[in-house]
Chain A
Amino acid sequence: EAQVTQNPRYLITVTGKKLTVTCSQNMNHEYMSWYRQDPGLGLRQIYYSMNVEVTDKGDVPEGYKVSRKEKRNFPLILESPSPNQTSLYFCASSLSWGIYGYTFGSGTRLTVV
């Protein structure tokens, strides 16, 4: 089944404790992206990657890091999480940059206390 898999689905952590949210897609998509979803703010892009080793900032990149060492994986790294990063996070992939039809993962609900 073609899908984007995120782990974990739920995570509660403490301020300052580094964490990684994994994202993997099995569709050989070139383009991958991370979004955060907050009430009233919709989906805001954090980082995106157009291909292996090619990443760039989205609209809200502060406090986040990403890497794209393999085509299928695009982990999101919070090196020192803060409470304002409590949110619902989605990873998405698309065949290529500028092509419609984004496939989203099921989301990771992160709580930072």
Chain B
Amino acid sequence: QQQVKQSPQSLIVQKGGISIINCAYENTAFDYFPWYQQFPGKGPALLIAIRPDVSEKKEGRFTISFNKSAKQFSLHIMDSQPGDSATYFCAAITQGGSEKLVFGKGTKLTVNP
């Protein structure tokens, strides 16, 4: 059973556009939701993360929106740039340790110049 469902599988946007990646989870024990960014030939790297007690977190052009009642969260990349082209993974974990880190299946983002 996939604990974190991520969509879309792939996404193509034009430079300057907004990229939106969505994730949904079932396990209400999850209390921390990180996003990882992976460039070709590299390992995933932590990009931004959010706790369920806030509805939005912004770091530069990257924003996480969180809807606790719907058990959904999303990554928005504003003013998308070709350098943002990468695979993005959402994830979920329980910081108390009762649940391990689980990943979505990833979204391959391509930003065209």
Min CB–CB distance A58 → chain B (angstroms) = 8
Report B-chain residues with C-beta under 8 Å of the C-beta of A104. Answer: 36, 43-45
Q: Which of B14-22, B58-66, B95-103 contacts A (4 or more CB under 8 A)?
A: B95-103
Instruction: Please count the residue pairs between chain A and chain B whose beta carbons lie under 8 angstroms apart in the complex.
Output: 52
B97 touches A42 (CB 8 A): no
| CB within 8 Å for A40 and B105 given contacts A98-B95, A100-B34 | yes
- Tell me what chain A mostly uses at the interface: helix, strand, loop, or mixed: loop
Interface size class of B (residues with CB under 8 A): 20 to 34
- Tell me what chain B mostly uses at the interface: helix, strand, loop, or mixed: loop
A sample of 15 more A-B contacts (CB under 8 A), given A101-B46, A104-B43, A104-B44, is A40-B105, A41-B105, A42-B89, A43-B44, A45-B100, A48-B100, A90-B43, A97-B100, A98-B93, A98-B97, A98-B98, A100-B34, A102-B36, A104-B36, A104-B45
A interface residues, Cβ below 8 angstroms from B: 4, 40-43, 45, 48, 90, 92, 97-102, 104-107
